[in-house]
């Protein structure tokens, strides 16, 4: 009799332990009006911010509910994030998630907790964060839960362009199981020079591949798992369409510069100027003045919580446009943090809930703090480019109608890279001076060209006069601004709305 009682006691203990998760909820009712909805799976690149969408189907407020996010089937007691009593409870939080989790928004128009949105925002994602997360909502009478699968991939592949050999490399890491890699020129598959795989101690695969291509080519590299949508990076290898801005970058550039100089000297000697306008081309040259904000003292906060980018003006909805941004000079320390590009956003978000990707209307070149002597596009996935020397001035050339955005190293007179897409709506210059970087970002002169076809020609008096004025002012020491007179307008360049 005693043995039977002992065995029964053990069975009761085992059952009680297996049902530990539900001890506090045994009296709850699962209501049809208290249902939780999620969106799954979610995939992000290592280091990025992940939003795990979860919300009440009824869109009722969740401010008075208990919200528990936990990882795996046994993580209930050590939650990733716990919210109850209208406050966060960190006493039992899983240590590796401390300081990285908060409530996010499943979409930009979400009302947050007030509308039942209890999405998890996970910052600085790591490979170890991969797994199945449970969104558990409960009140004093009801509860419901749903699972979201999160995959954190390693650093995505990037394309590297070597200007001398046109050697294109594609790299990717953080894959499981072993991924597949494919090259293409848009018409047919390309055979790479080699594909090398490596496996880390954590069992994740990385790969490296390369091939040689002639100039004036288009190439894409895609990496993915069987039966899943691959990640793709694309590069256009072509000569600069804006060579006249950088004489000396090629024989054609020198020829163009020589012709222009000869024309200027001839005009100066003859004392007369004849010019021809062709079509409806228009070139405007502006001599910009620096406009600084008033000095204002702001209290230091714990951290920057906003997107530190600003939108420039005017906007563009057609044509070709060029501007330059100064990132400092050789006698200054290098500027470490910056974005330069365009956006179609009517307003820059006031918080960091919106990821600044091409999908969300951002196209830019930026600094790359994790890779020395490299810059990166904000494409999906990110594309990295090596730079031989520090960037002092970046030229931006927007060909709206052809859907191309070119970035130039002005000092080196070379093309850094090209983003190709299809633009719609009005585009605005985008500037971000970065976080924790006190060095200035300055907008220099801006050359705007609107053309009616695809040939970019310069037959205009303003550009010739400008070159002539520069030569004369250097010889005669005439005041530059006085000599320019009314031909060049001295005006403030407004960068921010």
Digit-coded pLDDT (tens) for 235-276: 766 544 443 333 333 444 434 434 444 444 444 444 433 333
Let me know whether 110 and 166 are in one domain: no
What whole-number distance in Å separates Cα of residue 17 and Cα of residue 9? Answer: 12
In a domain, residue 497? The reply is no
Residue appearing with tokens 């908060």: 102
Reported as type and span, the H/E element at residue 5 is: helix 2-18
Q: Identify the CATH number of the domain in which residue 318 sits.
A: 2.60.120.920
Q: Which of 153, 179, 205 is the last residue of a domain?
A: 153
Q: Which domain holds residue 53?
A: 24-153
Residue appearing with tokens 């003859």: 270
Let me know whether 441 and 470 are in one domain: yes
In this predicted structure, which of 98-102, 173-177, 406-410, 491-495 has the lowest mean pLDDT? Answer: 491-495
Let me know whether 370 and 468 are in one domain: yes
Q: How confident is the model at residue 163 (pLDDT cuts 50, 70, 90)?
A: very low
CB 219 within 8 A of CB 190: yes
Report the chain's mean pLDDT, rounded to a whole number: 71
User: Residue 480's closest CA among 333, 202, 287?
Assistant: 287
Does residue 22 have a pLDDT over 50?
no
Let me know whether 99 and 42 are in one domain: yes
Q: Which two tokens stand for residue 226?
A: 């069987």
Q: Which two tokens stand for residue 150?
A: 């999160």
CA 487 and chain centroid, separation = 39
In a domain, residue 18? The reply is no
Neighbours of 479 (CB within 10 A): 9
In a domain, residue 9? The reply is no
In a domain, residue 6? The reply is no
Q: How confident is the model at residue 107 (pLDDT cuts 50, 70, 90)?
A: confident
Number of domains in the chain: 3
Does residue 280 have a pLDDT over 90?
no
Q: Is 107 helix (H, G, I), strand (E, B) or coil?
A: coil
449 versus 365: which is more confidently predicted?
A: 365
Q: Which two tokens stand for residue 462?
A: 């303003």
What whole-number distance in Å separates Cα of residue 100 and Cα of residue 49? Answer: 9
Q: How confident is the model at residue 170 (pLDDT cuts 50, 70, 90)?
A: confident
Sign of the Cα pseudo-torsion (90, 94, 95, 101, in order): negative
Q: Which of 237, 259, 274 is the last residue of a domain?
A: 237
What whole-number distance in Å separates Cα of residue 10 and Cα of residue 127? Answer: 40
């Amino acid at each position: 009799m005693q043995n039977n009682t002992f065995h029964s006691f053990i069975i009761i203990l085992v059952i009680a332990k297996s049902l530990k998760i539900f001890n506090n909820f045994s009296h709850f009712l699962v209501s049809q009006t208290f249902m939780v909805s999620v969106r799954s799976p979610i995939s992000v690149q290592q280091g990025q911010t992940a939003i795990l969408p979860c919300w009440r189907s009824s869109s009722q407020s969740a401010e008075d509910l208990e919200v528990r996010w936990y990882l795996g089937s046994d993580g209930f007691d050590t939650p990733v994030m716990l919210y109850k009593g209208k406050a966060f409870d960190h006493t039992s939080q899983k240590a590796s998630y401390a300081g990285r989790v908060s409530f996010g928004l499943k979409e930009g128009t979400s009302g947050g907790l007030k509308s039942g949105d209890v999405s998890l925002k996970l910052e600085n994602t790591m490979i170890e964060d991969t797994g199945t997360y449970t969104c558990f909502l409960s009140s004093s009478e009801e509860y419901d839960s749903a699972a979201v699968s999160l995959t954190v991939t390693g650093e995505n592949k990037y394309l590297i362009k070597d200007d001398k050999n046109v050697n294109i490399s594609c790299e990717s890491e953080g894959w499981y199981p072993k991924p597949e890699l494919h090259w293409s020129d848009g018409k047919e598959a390309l055979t790479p020079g080699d594909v090398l795989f490596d496996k880390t101690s954590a069992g994740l695969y990385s790969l490296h591949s390369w091939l040689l291509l002639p100039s004036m080519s288009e190439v894409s590299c895609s990496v993915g798992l069987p039966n899943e949508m691959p990640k793709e990076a694309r590069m256009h290898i072509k000569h600069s369409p804006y060579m006249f801005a950088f004489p000396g970058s090629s024989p054609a550039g020198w020829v163009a510069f020589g012709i222009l100089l000869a024309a200027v000297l001839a005009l100066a000697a003859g004392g007369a100027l004849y010019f021809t306008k062709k079509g409806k081309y228009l070139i405007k040259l502006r001599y910009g003045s620096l406009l600084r904000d008033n000095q204002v003292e702001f209290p230091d906060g714990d951290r920057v919580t906003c997107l530190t980018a600003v939108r420039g003006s005017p906007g563009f909805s057609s044509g070709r446009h060029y501007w330059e941004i100064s990132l400092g000079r050789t006698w200054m320390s290098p500027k470490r943090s910056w974005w330069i590009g365009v956006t179609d956003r009517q307003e820059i978000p006031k918080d960091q809930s919106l990821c600044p990707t091409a999908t969300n209307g951002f196209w830019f070149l930026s600094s790359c703090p994790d890779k020395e002597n490299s810059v990166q596009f904000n494409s999906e996935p990110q594309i990295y480019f090596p730079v031989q020397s520090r960037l002092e001035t970046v030229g931006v050339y927007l060909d709206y109608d052809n859907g191309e955005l070119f970035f130039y190293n002005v000092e080196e007179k070379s093309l850094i890279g090209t983003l190709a897409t299809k633009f719609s709506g009005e585009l605005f210059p985008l500037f971000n001076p970065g976080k924790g970087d006190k060095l200035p970002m300055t907008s220099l002169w801006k050359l705007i060209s609107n053309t009616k076809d695809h040939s970019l020609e310069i037959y205009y008096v303003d550009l010739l006069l400008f070159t002539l004025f520069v030569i004369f002012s250097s010889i005669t020491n005439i005041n530059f601004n006085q000599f320019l007179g009314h031909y060049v307008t001295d005006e403030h360049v407004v960068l921010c709305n």
